[in-house]
Structure 1
Amino acid sequence: MTPVDLVCLPFAGAHMDPFHALRRECESAVPGLASMTVTYPGHGGRVHGALAPTILEMAHDALGEIDEHRARRGSGHRETVLLGYSMGGYVAYELAHLLADRGEPPVRLLAMAATPPAHLDGTDLDLGTDDELLEHCAQYGLVSPGSFPEGTMRRLFLPALRNDILAVDRYPTARGRRPLPAATELVVFTGAHDATVAHQDRWADLTAAPPRTHVYDGGHFFVTECRDALVRDVVAHLGTHRERTAA
């Protein structure tokens, strides 16, 4: 069987690995699977580095992290599965194009909690104050102004969150109209009560074959609200992928 790399791309403002438990369960259930979560510049263990202000720059940086991950595991052909959550879905979309541009086989893209990129509505956001930023992010159900009291926590964590929200808001719609590379497999995961995501059916515009879709009884962060069902579905897709590549 061809070994598989599962590459996870987090949502805006993530500093810790939100996929740690999911990755461990997938590795236990799918023999030969290796996984990693990309840390964006200026986030987590790279918090003192310069932020990447655009989705495309994040994707280029992620490509470098993938190459380092592969180098540590040794040479040899590996299949790549990209799991992108919210903002990470757009980074994964760009990354799929970058991998194809350098001649790699088509990836499988698992797009979670993300509006199709051509339908992102840029609004020229003006997030002038930290409280305005947190009020904007409250719609996703993860943070509120009270989540970050004044002081060190805001100085450490909010610059990355602000950067990421603006990167999504300013993503060029024209880039999001490009079909995914030929033979890319697309699977869409969404929360039934996620009011921040729209036009999920239009992901079909990006691939020759209709994407498979999973809908969970949760909001934007169904990754925690519906964790067991999500893990089960991701493991099932990874297992199916391996069976096909081994055939």
Structure 2
Amino acid sequence: MVAEIQPHCLEDDMPARAAADRELWIRSLRPAPGRAVTLLCFPHAGGAAGYFTPLARCAHESVEVLGVQYPGRQDRFGEPMIDDIFVLAERIHEALTSAPVEGPIAFLGHSMGATVAFEVARIMEREGQAPPVRLFASGRRAPSRSRDEGVHRLDDAGLVAEVRALNPAVAPAFDNAEFVSIVLPTLRNDYRAVERYRCAEEATVSCPITAFLGTEDPKVTRDDTSAWAGHTTAGFDMELFPGGHFYLEDQWERVYAELARRLPGR
């Protein structure tokens, strides 16, 4: 005879399951028990939460730094990947809602991550939740400037060449055939998601947006970046950094300094 499951048992398990789901998606990069603000970081195509670890090391003790871990990579390698920005944003929002961050939260998204962060912020507002205190959009065209460049349809050699050109620092890793076989499906999935994404020009969030751009970025122009101003009903500003698409990696301290002067309590 199967024992009857009592409703209260299920209820007792809910907080633990919610916390587990949040921990799957949201990783702590720098705890800050007495935090004034939380910074949630969204990685680029093919990227993972740990990409922002150098930024977390620069953070002030009053700033908690979290990173989003998308499925299909690192310790989530066996999970199905998500090739739809809107679905990905919904899942991240669900994880955040299951165990909400207390106090003010700011979003930082790099490249694809900026688009995902924007869509998570839009969901928060649709659900009647307080939006992030600021959205930092790094190395990404404004949502209404999205376009399909066909990168996700390239053959393996073409996709590898694209990544090498965008981030020469990682080029040597792509000489390893085993590494390539592991990361290429993730890269193709993420490029598919971001290249298929479309957003109306009138789509906005009510939080201020700060856009960061590397002056030598081969994919994102100043005009593309300035267009983020049309996607907020609050303030907008832009900060330029020397370097290419992955300008952050050579100047994490300066990136953090520009973040910090725009964060509350800092």
Smaller-chain TM-score range? 0.7 to 0.9
Give CA deviations for 1:119-152 in whole Å, capped at 9, x if unaligned: 1221344534221111122331247775323642
Q: How far does residue 218 in structure 1 lie from its aligned partner after superposition?
A: 1.0
Give the aligned partner of residue 57 of structure 1.
Answer: 87
Give the aligned partner of residue 137 of structure 1.
Answer: 163
Q: Within 5 A, what are the aligned runs for 1:115-134?
A: 115-125=141-151, 127-134=153-160
- SS of the aligned residue for 2:212 comes to strand
- SS of the aligned residue for 1:17 comes to helix
**Matched-pair contact (CA < 8 Å) for 1:82–1:110:** yes
| 1:167 maps onto 2:209 in alignment | no
**Matched-pair contact (CA < 8 Å) for 2:214–2:242:** yes
Q: Which runs of 5+ in 1 are unaligned?
A: none
Q: How far does residue 48 in structure 1 lie from its aligned partner after superposition?
A: 1.0
Q: Within 5 A, what are the aligned runs for 1:26-45?
A: 26-28=59-61, 31=62, 33-45=63-75
Instruction: Tell me the distance in 2 between the aligned counterparts of 1:35 and 1:189.
Output: 18
Give the aligned partner of residue 215 of structure 2.
Answer: 192
Q: Which runs of 5+ in 2 are unaligned?
A: 1-33
**Matched-pair contact (CA < 8 Å) for 1:10–1:88:** yes
**Matched-pair contact (CA < 8 Å) for 2:205–2:233:** no
Q: TM-score, normalised by structure 1?
A: 0.84
Check 1:211–1:232 CA distance in 2 against 1; reply closer, same or farther (3 A cut): same
Instruction: Tell me the distance in 1 between the aligned counterparts of 2:256 and 2:228.
Output: 22
Q: Within 5 A, what are the aligned runs for 1:1-247?
A: 3-15=36-48, 17-28=50-61, 31=62, 33-67=63-97, 70=100, 77-107=102-132, 108-125=134-151, 127-142=153-168, 147-149=173-175, 151-172=177-198, 175-182=199-206, 184-198=207-221, 199-238=224-263, 241-242=264-265
Instruction: Tell me the distance in 1 between the aligned counterparts of 2:74 and 2:124.
Output: 25
User: Which 4+ stretches in 1 moved above 6 angstroms?
Assistant: none
Equivalent pairs: percent with the same residue? Answer: 25
- SS of the aligned residue for 1:14 comes to coil
Q: How far does residue 176 in structure 1 lie from its aligned partner after superposition?
A: 4.5
Q: What is the one-letter code of the residue matched to 2:91?
A: D
Work out the number of aligned pairs and report it: 230
**Matched-pair contact (CA < 8 Å) for 2:72–2:186:** yes
- SS of the aligned residue for 2:141 comes to coil
Give CA deviations for 1:50-76 in whole Å, capped at 9, x if unaligned: 000111122122223434564xx7xxx
Check 1:201–1:191 CA distance in 2 against 1; reply closer, same or farther (3 A cut): same
Q: TM-score, normalised by structure 2?
A: 0.78
| Higher radius of gyration, 1 or 2 | 2
Instruction: Tell me the distance in 2 between the aligned counterparts of 1:207 and 1:43.
Output: 32
Give CA deviations for 1:168-187 in whole Å, capped at 9, x if unaligned: 11112xx24243233x1111
Deviates more, 1:195-204 or 1:80-89: 195-204
- SS of the aligned residue for 2:258 comes to helix
Check 1:194–1:100 CA distance in 2 against 1; reply closer, same or farther (3 A cut): same
**Matched-pair contact (CA < 8 Å) for 2:40–2:66:** yes
Q: How far does residue 41 in structure 1 lie from its aligned partner after superposition?
A: 1.0
Higher-RCO chain (CA-CA 8 Å, sequence separation at least 6):
1
**Matched-pair contact (CA < 8 Å) for 1:8–1:83:** yes
Instruction: Supply the RMSD in Å over aligned alpha carbons.
Output: 2.3
Q: How far does residue 112 in structure 1 lie from its aligned partner after superposition?
A: 0.5
**Matched-pair contact (CA < 8 Å) for 1:13–1:160:** yes
**Matched-pair contact (CA < 8 Å) for 1:141–1:220:** yes
